[in-house]
């Protein structure tokens, strides 16, 4: 009995173990099934997440592409507007430049006409002034070279002779010789002046004409008229000093401008003869 009980007990234990094993296997399978479902679910969730992510990326890419297209269109419009604006500006600038060139041409033409008119008026005015000065000079010379004022030239030339002959300074005497281009010394210069005033012309205005035109004494005479003549007039006892001064100034001008020397006229003692030398 005891042995059968042991065997029966062993069978019961074995049956229990098998039941436990079957139960364990079922639990294990159930867990595995649950884990598999969870994995599948997780995988589905992951796939759904990836799909949503890629969908979001695709939407963003599409949005960016649309924005790029919009920007390109706006840039094209802006470029067209800029091109139109630039072309409009160039057209306006060209039109303004043409108008400005036309205005400049009109101004130049107007200024040229005005300049021609002014030049003609200036030349006419200058010609009138020359005629007036010439007439004034003629009247002045007619007044100076008449028989009543025949001593004016003589007084000036004699004063010049005394000025040179009375000089005592040796250095000044040497300068006089240089001006007159006299190489034989100061006494020879005095003799040359005396000879010129005595023999060069019968009348005093002819002597003066030779002095301011041809004589080597012209630089020395010019120095006298420029620096000394006024001092002589101031200290002189002559009455008509103004006429002496006018004649001295004329002689000085004619030395500086030889062409006007032809204006010097001759006179006779009894009556005035006005003659122009050409």
Q: In sequence order, which residues have a C-beta less than 8 Å from that of residue 156 and are 6 or more positions away?
A: 208, 229, 244, 247, 248, 251
Are 92 and 182 part of one and the same domain? no
Q: Specify the pLDDT at position 278.
A: 34
The mean pLDDT value for 187-200 works out to 87
Report the number of distinct structural domains present in the chain. 2
Place of tokens 């000394």: 228
Strands (E), the chain: none
Query: Is residue 85 situated within a structural domain?
Result: yes
The mean pLDDT value for 190-203 works out to 84
Q: What angle do the packed helices 218-227 and 170-180 form, to 10 degrees? A: 130
**Higher pLDDT, residue 247 or 123:** 247
Write down the mean pLDDT value for the chain.
70
Query: Is residue 172 situated within a structural domain?
Result: yes
Q: What is the pLDDT of residues 113-147, one digit of tens each?
A: 665 655 555 556 655 665 555 555 555 545 444 44
Do residues 272 and 147 lie in contact, with contact meaning Cβ atoms separated by under 8 Å?
yes
DSSP 8-state secondary structure symbol assigned to residue 238: -
**Higher pLDDT, residue 63 or 251:** 251
Are 167 and 226 part of one and the same domain? yes
Are 113 and 181 part of one and the same domain? no
Query: Is residue 181 situated within a structural domain?
Result: yes
Are 150 and 233 part of one and the same domain? yes
Q: Specify the pLDDT at position 266.
A: 46
In this model, does residue 212 exceed pLDDT 70?
yes
Are 169 and 109 part of one and the same domain? no
Structure tokens at 243: 């006429």
The mean pLDDT value for 223-241 works out to 79
Place of tokens 């006024």: 230
Tell me which residue range forms the domain holding 196: 145-263
Q: Specify the pLDDT at position 276.
A: 42
Are 249 and 183 part of one and the same domain? yes
**Higher pLDDT, residue 102 or 274:** 102
Query: Is residue 132 situated within a structural domain?
Result: no
| CA–CA gap between residue 185 and residue 140 (Å, rounded) | 39
Q: What is the pLDDT of residues 18-45, one digit of tens each?
A: 776 677 777 777 666 666 667 677 766 7
Query: Is residue 220 situated within a structural domain?
Result: yes
The mean pLDDT value for 253-278 works out to 55
Query: Is residue 252 situated within a structural domain?
Result: yes
Are 217 and 150 part of one and the same domain? yes
In this model, does residue 239 exceed pLDDT 60?
yes
Query: Is residue 135 situated within a structural domain?
Result: no
Are 107 and 17 part of one and the same domain? yes
Are 82 and 170 part of one and the same domain? no
pLDDT tier, 267 (very low <50, low <70, confident <90, very high otherwise): very low
Are 5 and 112 part of one and the same domain? yes
Query: Is residue 249 situated within a structural domain?
Result: yes
The mean pLDDT value for 59-84 works out to 65
Q: Specify the pLDDT at position 129.
A: 62
pLDDT tier, 271 (very low <50, low <70, confident <90, very high otherwise): very low
Are 98 and 156 part of one and the same domain? no
In this model, does residue 78 exceed pLDDT 70?
no
| CA–CA gap between residue 46 and residue 38 (Å, rounded) | 12
Report DSSP letters for 138-201, one per residue.
Answer: HHHHHHHTSGGGTHHHHHHHHHHHHHHHT---HHHHHHHHHHHT--S-HHHHHHHHHHHHHHS-
pLDDT tier, 273 (very low <50, low <70, confident <90, very high otherwise): very low
| CA–CA gap between residue 237 and residue 217 (Å, rounded) | 26
Are 107 and 158 part of one and the same domain? no
């Amino acid at each position: 009995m005891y042995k059968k009980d042991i065997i029966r007990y062993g069978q019961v234990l074995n049956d229990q173990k098998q039941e436990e094993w079957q139960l364990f296997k079922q639990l294990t399978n159930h867990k595995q099934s649950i884990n598999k479902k969870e994995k599948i679910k997780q995988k589905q969730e992951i796939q759904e997440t990836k799909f949503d992510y890629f969908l979001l990326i695709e939407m963003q890419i599409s949005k960016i592409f649309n924005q790029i297209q919009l920007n390109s269109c706006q840039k094209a419009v802006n470029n067209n507007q800029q091109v139109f604006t630039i072309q409009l500006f160039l057209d306006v600038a060209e039109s303004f430049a043409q108008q400005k060139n036309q205005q400049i041409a009109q101004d130049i033409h107007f200024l040229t006409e005005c300049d021609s008119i002014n030049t003609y008026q200036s030349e006419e005015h200058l010609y009138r002034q020359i005629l007036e000065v010439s007439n004034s000079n003629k009247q002045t010379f007619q007044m100076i070279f008449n028989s009543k004022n025949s001593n004016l030239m003589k007084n000036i030339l004699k004063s010049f002779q005394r000025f040179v002959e009375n000089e005592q300074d040796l250095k000044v005497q040497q300068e006089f010789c240089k001006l007159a281009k006299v190489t034989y010394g100061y006494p020879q210069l005095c003799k040359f002046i005396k000879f010129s005033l005595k023999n060069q012309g019968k009348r005093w205005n002819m002597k003066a004409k030779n002095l301011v035109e041809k004589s080597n004494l012209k630089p020395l005479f010019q120095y006298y008229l420029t620096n000394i003549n006024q001092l002589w007039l101031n200290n002189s006892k002559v009455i008509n000093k103004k006429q002496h001064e006018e004649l001295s100034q004329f002689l000085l001008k004619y030395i500086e401008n030889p062409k006007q020397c032809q204006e010097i006229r001759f006179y006779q003692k009894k009556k005035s003869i006005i003659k122009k030398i050409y």
